[in-house]
Amino acid sequence: MLSPSVLLYIAFVAMPLVAAITLSFFKWDLLTAPQFAGLANFVELATDGTTFRAIGNTFLFAIATVIFHMVGGLLLAIALNRPLNRLLRKVLSAAIFFPVLMSWAAVSLIWRYALDPNFGFVNYYLKQLGLTPPNWFADASSAMPSLIGIDVWHSLGYTMVILLAGLQSIPPTLYEAARLDGAGPVRQFWSVTVPLLSPTLLFASIISFVGAFQIFDPMFIITKGGPDNSTLSVVQDVYYSAFRDFDMGYASAKSLIIVAVILIVTMLQLRLSKRWVNYDK
C-alpha cells in the first residue's frame, strides 16, 4: 500500500538529491562529458560573494514573510472564526484564499504592471493623492519590500486557512471555563488560544519558511535579481549557474546549500518548539 508513495519519493526526491550530491563533485557544461573536479566547486563556492549575497537576500525575504504570514494569518483566522453569517464567512474566506490559486507567474506579471512607474495604476492613484510613489522595482531600498508584499498578498490565505482550521479544533468549553474564571478576551487569547494553537503555529511557520526560502518566480520575472543583486534569491542564483553559465556541477553544489539551510532551520524550529508548543488539549 505504501509502494506508490515510496516510488514517487524515490523518483522525485531521493534520486535527484543523490544526483545533485554526486554532480557537485564534477564539472559539466551539459554538452561534454562530466569531468571529476573533487572539491573544486565547494572551494569556489566559499569565495563566491554573489552566492552569499543571494543567501542573505533569501534569509531576509523568508524571515519577513514568515512574520507577516504568522501575524496576518492569525489575525484573519481569528476574525473569520468569530460568529459571522455563514455566507459572509465563505465569501470572505474565498476572497482571501483566491490569490493562492493563481500561479506565481500570473501574480508576478500582474504586480509587475500594477507597480510600473509609467503606467501602473498604483502609482497613478498615489499621484492623484499628491504622493510621490517610489520606483518600486528599480530602487534597491524598495525592491525587496515590494516582493515581500507581493508574496504576502499571494500566500497569506494559505496560512490563514491552516490557522483557521487549528482555531476551529479548540473546544469551545475551554473558553467557557476561562470566562467563568474571570478571564477576559486578552487572557483567553494568551492562556487558551495560543497554547492550544501552538502545534498549528509551528507547522505553519515551518511551511512558510520552506516555501519562502525556495522563492524564485517573482525575482526572476519582475526584477531579474536586481537592482545590483539586491533581490537575487538562492534558487535564482542556482538557475543562473546551471542554465546561463552552463556549470551544472557548480549549480549542484549551490543547490545543496538550500537543502542544508532548510534542514538546519527546520531542526532548530523543532528543537525550540519543545519550549513553547503544547500538544495537550
pLDDT, one tens digit per residue, over 126-167 is 999 998 888 899 998 999 999 999 999 999 999 999 999 999
- Other C-beta atoms within 10 Å of 171: how many? 11
Asked, for residue 63, whether it belongs to a domain, the answer is yes
Grid cell for residue 250? 557548480
Asked, for residue 70, whether it belongs to a domain, the answer is yes
Q: How many domains does the chain have?
A: 1
Question: What averages of pLDDT result for each successive group of 10 residues across the chain (281 residues)?
Answer: 94 93 93 92 93 95 96 94 84 92 94 90 91 89 95 95 93 91 91 93 94 94 93 96 94 94 92 84 58
The per-residue DSSP string of 49-87 comes to HHHHHHHHHHHHHHHHHHHHHHHHHHHHHHHHHSS--HH
- How many C-alpha atoms does 252 have within 13 Å on its Cβ side? 23
CATH number for the domain harbouring residue 126: 1.10.3720.10
Asked, for residue 5, whether it belongs to a domain, the answer is no
Asked, for residue 201, whether it belongs to a domain, the answer is yes
Asked, for residue 166, whether it belongs to a domain, the answer is yes
Q: Look at residue 64 in the predicted model and tell me its pLDDT.
A: 96
pLDDT, one tens digit per residue, over 214-232 is 999 999 999 999 899 999 9
Asked, for residue 220, whether it belongs to a domain, the answer is yes
Asked, for residue 177, whether it belongs to a domain, the answer is yes
Whole domain around residue 143: which residue ranges?
A: 50-240+254-275
Asked, for residue 60, whether it belongs to a domain, the answer is yes
